[in-house]
Amino acid sequence: MAPPGSIREVGNALIMRGDIPEFHTHHLPAYSVAFHLKGAAKVEWKRGAKYREFTSKPGTFSVVSGDGLNAFRCVGMVETLNLAITPDQLARIAEREGLPAPDSLVLTETHEDFSREINLLGQSFASLLLSPHTTSVLYAETLWTQITLQLLWKYSSLPNQGEAPYERLSDARIRRVIDYLQDALGQEIRLTELAGMVDLSPSHFLTAFKKGTGKTPYRYLTELRMSRACELLRNPHNSILGVALAVGFSSQSHFTSTFTRFMKVTPSSYRTEVLGLRSDDPG
């Protein structure tokens, strides 16, 4: 299953389903990070003299280097999220975050790890790929950045970083970001763009913004969009599709599902309750 185009821009990601009864070989110029989502299967992996045999289980992930010819087979039906992260990407992120990267930055190979935080991030990313709607690039970039940083902090040749440091945002800097979000509700907003407004790296910005507002930028933006949508829905001359487009959604169905999740009522039902009118628009 191929990911939506907006998610492909964030990272090379793919959902795979099924089994591989015969050994499959690949040689990629990247690390392969596999999050096991559903099913259980016996997996055999080998590269040169290295050989591992393990049982794939939901809630675990594996990291395999692309250096050399990898071969693996999987007996049993499973569903996995597979991310490819290149050494250049790791080096750029480490430099951007001010991490003390050694001359040779590598990820540690691991199989079936149970790190709860990384697996939750992987499951959230998989939900984006499986969504039938066009998803937010801001949310995808947030998850991609957090996954990569967790791997750098816990599964790389870097010294143990512990908890990520963050810079506290002043009220004026937070206000600058919030004002921009309010003015750009109908646009696609990127994490790097918001972080650059306050001269922080994306990961430091995520932490600082949440410390300052109690919410992630994606959550804050979505709530602003829902608030504005409620205002627009009070005007019976605004179609639901027009409202969806005005607050940054590319389809009415995606807007309806998000609005219903946040407001516990469909857009058309909300309009009916507020105005006492019937909407001809499907909600």
Q: In this structure, what CATH number is given to the domain that contains residue 45? A: 2.60.120.10
Among 210, 207, 189, 282, CA closest to 243: 282
Does residue 282 form part of some domain? no
> If pLDDT is split at 50, 70 and 90, which confidence band does 167 have?
low
Are 138 and 239 in a shared domain?
no
The percentage of residues in the chain with a pLDDT greater than 70, rounded to a whole number, is 86
45 lies in which domain range?
5-154
pLDDT at 281: 47
pLDDT at 48: 77
Among 93, 221, 109, CA closest to 149: 93
Are 137 and 177 in a shared domain?
no
Are 18 and 140 in a shared domain?
yes
Are 128 and 31 in a shared domain?
yes
Does residue 160 form part of some domain? no
pLDDT at 165: 52
Are 201 and 143 in a shared domain?
no
Residue 170 in this model has a pLDDT that exceeds 80: no
pLDDT at 5: 37
Are 202 and 106 in a shared domain?
no
Residue 145 in this model has a pLDDT that exceeds 80: yes
Residue 6 in this model has a pLDDT that exceeds 50: no
How far is the CA of 116 from the CAs of 46, 61, 106, 130, in angstroms? 26, 10, 22, 21
- Rounded Cα distance between 182 and 57, Å, is 43
With a CB cutoff of 8 Å and minimum separation 6, the contacts of 169 are 177, 198, 208, 209, 211, 212
Are 110 and 197 in a shared domain?
no
In this predicted model, what pLDDT tens digit does every residue of 92-136 receive, in sequence order?
888 777 776 666 778 888 888 888 888 888 988 888 888 756 557
Does residue 162 form part of some domain? no
Last residue of a domain, one of 214, 233, 249: 214
Structure-model confidence comparison of residues 261 and 283, the more confident one: 261
Are 128 and 240 in a shared domain?
no
Does residue 191 form part of some domain? yes
- Rounded Cα distance between 156 and 101, Å, is 10
Are 38 and 137 in a shared domain?
yes
pLDDT at 65: 82
Are 62 and 176 in a shared domain?
no
Number of structural domains found in the chain:
3
Are 26 and 145 in a shared domain?
yes
pLDDT at 2: 34
Stated pTM of the model: 0.68
- Write down the mean pLDDT value for the chain: 81
Produce one character per residue of 161-195: b if its CB has 16 or more CB atoms within 10 Å, e if not.
Answer: eeeeebeebeeebbeebbeebeeebeeebbbebbb
Structure-model confidence comparison of residues 155 and 160, the more confident one: 155
pLDDT at 225: 93
Does residue 281 form part of some domain? no
pLDDT at 277: 61
- Residues 269-276, mean pLDDT to the nearest whole number: 84
Are 25 and 107 in a shared domain?
yes
